Amino acid sequence: MFQTILFYVFSSILLVAALGVIFSKNPVHSIMFLVGAFFQSAVLWLLIEAEFLAIVLVLVYVGAVMVLFLFVVMMLDINVEEAKSSIAKYTPFGLLIAGLMIVELMQVIKLRSANQTLQGFSINPPDYSNTESLGSVLYTEHVYAFEIASVILLLAIVAAITLTMRKRPGLKVQDIAKQVAVDPKDRLKIIKMKSETES
């Protein structure tokens, strides 16, 4: 009962935030609404005891992806009026895609719920740990797919960093190792001398 109330509260906030993403005039406000929407979906996942997914959603999307979005959007100077004028042109196309997605989702939900009755929130045993059960599936059944995916992602980081390691000939840059290894003795000479006093 209590969980049902919470579910409706959080979903309505989620819907409001999602609408805010589309309708707010300022792109930075849109992004903050999207961050709010991610948080609400994370909370909905927490309600069905999927705490690993919920926290990873916040970690990856709110903590990294949206920060970069915000980073880019802040630097853009978007002319809202100009963007508004082209909305009418794209409306039918957008509606078509939205309709298609709704139909697809309905189909999946109908297919999934055909041979099972609706269940409440606490369907898991009390000692259920989402993190553990996810881990035990990922590292046994899907271990190859999981490892290959992680190696590809790691490779992407390494590749991106390697791209910045290029050397252009004739470029005047500081040799940082040399700068760090500077010894005060090479630059500074301390001379002992008598202090000059009056009289």
Partner 1 sequence: MNISSLMPAFVFEQWNLVPGYIQDLLIITLQIVFISICVILAVAFTTYFERKVIGYMQGRLGPNRVGPKGLGQPFADVIKLLIKEVVVPSKSNRFLFVIAPLLSLVPALATWAVIPLTDGFVIADINAGLLYVLALTSVGVYGVLLAGWSTNSKYAFLGAMRSAAQIVAYEIAMGFALVGVLMAGGSLNLGEIIASQSGGFSNWFIIPLFPLFVVYFVSGVAETNRAPFDVAEGESEIVAGFHVEYSGVAFAVFFLAEYANIILIAALTSIFFLAGWSSPFEGWTILGSESFLREPSFFWLALKICFFIFVFFWIRATFPRYRYDQIMRLGWKIFIPVTIVWIAVEGLMAWMKVGPWAI
Q: Applying CB under 8 A, which part among 83-91, 94-102, 140-148, 157-165 lies near partner 1?
A: 157-165
Structure-token match 């853009």, residue found: 76
Interface positions, 66-95, toward partner 1 (CB under 8 A): 67-68, 70-71, 74-75
Nearest to 31 by CA among 16, 18, 43: 18
Q: How far is the CB of 83 from partner 1 (least distance, A)?
A: 19
Minimum gap (Å) between residue 155 Cβ and partner 1 = 11
Give me the count of residues in the chain.
Answer: 199
Work out which of 9, 131, 138, 156 binds partner 1, going by CB under 8 A. Answer: 131
Give yes or no for residue 64 binding partner 1 (CB under 8 A): yes
Q: Which residues contact 31 (CB under 8 A, 6 or more apart)?
A: 66, 69, 70, 73
Is the Cβ of residue 79 or residue 164 nearer to partner 1 in the bound state?
A: 164
Q: Does 44 bind partner 1 (CB under 8 A)?
A: no
- Nearest CB to partner 1, comparing residues 18 and 55: 55
31 within 8 A of 4, measured Cβ to Cβ: no
For residues 25 and 20, what is the distance between their CA atoms, to the nearest angstrom?
9
Question: For 33-39, which contacts have Cβ atoms below 8 Å and span 24 or more sequence positions?
Answer: 34/66, 34/69, 35/62, 35/66, 38/62, 38/66
Q: How far is it, in rounded angstroms, from Cα 21 to Cα 35? A: 9
Stretch that binds partner 1, among 10-18, 105-113, 138-146, 156-164 (CB under 8 A): 156-164
Contact between 16 and partner 1 (CB under 8 A)?
no
Contact residues toward partner 1 (CB under 8 A) are 26, 28, 32, 35, 51-52, 55-56, 58-59, 62-64, 67-68, 70-71, 74-75, 129-132, 154, 157, 161, 164-165, 176
